[in-house]
């Protein structure tokens, strides 16, 4: 068996990727150290890779704030409902477009791809959402982007790669189109479904701009909007809760530590999802890549 040669180009790629990983690791370590350090350490500035005089006061103050928990609830509702609905509707649309017998398939595919480059704009979208009565509802976070043209195209190409003989044999046995789709096509499409689900879940978890525009009710704000307000306004968002004391009353708590703790609280849950879906990620991307 011929051994693969390790070229200089490969070494440079590994070096650049290694440096990039180090910058990310250092940033996470710095934030973790700031969030676990008292006020007089966090306000010194500079790069801090290990916490000094360990304290959990910053996290305790963050978790005492009810808007953090409301943000968690709203984000979980949005992520679970949005990911499920988007995955279902995207898969249905992609399956139809993957069939050669679908009338004017190329035309409709072109129309969908066209929306990837041109859209109605922010103001028409807001007016549409408002007139549909979706303002201050969870639907305003999900329905406007229910089907992504990019995800639909990726999934369509994956469905096209599946052997047509599977459907033909199922139809000979008397199975209908919907039964074939739910019981045979979807179980065979686990890699691309897991990949798209990961994209959708991360997108919903990190989304904040649409919530900022469509949702004015504080009780329906997602975690990322709460985090944004904490970072922009400092500790005012946390101190606005009557159940929490002000930062001045807690000598070990600092505004920088609270920001770092809030970032970790909002980031860790979605990072825990990656290990379970990572094995499907590369396969789904390779098989469902854009073509034809």
Domain count, the chain: 1
Residue 94 resides in a domain: yes
pLDDT tens digits along 144-201: 889 988 899 888 988 888 888 888 888 887 888 888 888 888 888 888 888 888 889 8
State which residues form the domain around 255.
56-287
Residue 13 resides in a domain: no
Name, in order, each residue with C-beta under 8 angstroms of 211's C-beta and a sequence gap of 6 or more: 141, 220, 221, 222, 224, 225
Beta carbons of 62 and 258 less than 8 angstroms apart = yes
Residue 266 resides in a domain: yes
Say which CATH number the domain at 154 has: 1.10.3720.10
Residue 40 resides in a domain: no
Residue 46 resides in a domain: no
Residue 144 resides in a domain: yes
Q: 248 pLDDT exceeds 60?
A: no
Q: How far is CA 70 from the centre of its chain?
A: 19
Mean of pLDDT values over 140-145: 90
Residue 101 resides in a domain: yes
Angstrom CA distances, 82 to 126, 143, 259, stand at: 19, 8, 28
Name, in order, each residue with C-beta under 8 angstroms of 246's C-beta and a sequence gap of 6 or more: 235, 239
In percent, the amount of the chain with pLDDT more than 70 equals: 85
Residue 34 resides in a domain: no
- pLDDT at residue number 105: 86
Name, in order, each residue with C-beta under 8 angstroms of 110's C-beta and a sequence gap of 6 or more: none
Q: What is the 3-state secondary structure (H, E, C) of 88-117?
A: HHHHHHHHHHCCCCCCCHHHHHHHHHHCCC
């Amino acid at each position: 068996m011929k051994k693969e040669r390790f070229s200089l180009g490969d070494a440079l790629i590994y070096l650049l990727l290694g440096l990039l990983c180090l910058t990310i690791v250092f940033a996470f370590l710095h934030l973790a150290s700031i969030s676990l350090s008292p006020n007089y350490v966090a306000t010194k500035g500079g790069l801090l890779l290990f916490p000094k005089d360990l304290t959990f006061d910053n996290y305790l103050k963050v978790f005492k704030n009810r808007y953090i928990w409301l943000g968690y609830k709203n984000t979980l509702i949005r992520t679970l409902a949005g990911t499920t609905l988007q995955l279902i509707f995207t898969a249905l649309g992609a399956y139809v477009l993957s069939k050669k017998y679908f009338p004017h398939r190329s035309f409709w595919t072109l129309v969908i791809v066209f929306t990837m480059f041109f859209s109605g704009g922010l103001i028409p979208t807001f007016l549409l959402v408002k007139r549909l009565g979706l303002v201050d509802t969870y639907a305003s976070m999900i329905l406007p982007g229910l089907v992504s043209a990019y995800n639909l195209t990726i999934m369509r190409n994956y469905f096209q790669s599946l052997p047509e003989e599977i459907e033909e044999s199922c139809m000979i046995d008397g199975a209908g189109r919907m039964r074939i789709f739910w019981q045979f096509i979807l179980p065979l499409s686990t890699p691309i479904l897991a990949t798209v689900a990961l994209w959708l879940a991360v997108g919903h978890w990190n989304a904040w701009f649409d919530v900022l525009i469509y949702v004015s009710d504080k009780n329906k704000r997602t975690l990322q909007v709460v985090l944004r307000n904490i970072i922009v306004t400092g500790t005012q968002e946390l101190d606005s809760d009557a159940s929490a004391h002000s930062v001045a009353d807690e000598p070990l708590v600092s505004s920088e530590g609270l920001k770092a703790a809030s970032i970790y609280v909002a980031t860790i849950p979605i990072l825990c999802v990656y290990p379970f879906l990572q094995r499907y990620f590369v396969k789904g991307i390779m098989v469902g890549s854009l073509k034809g």
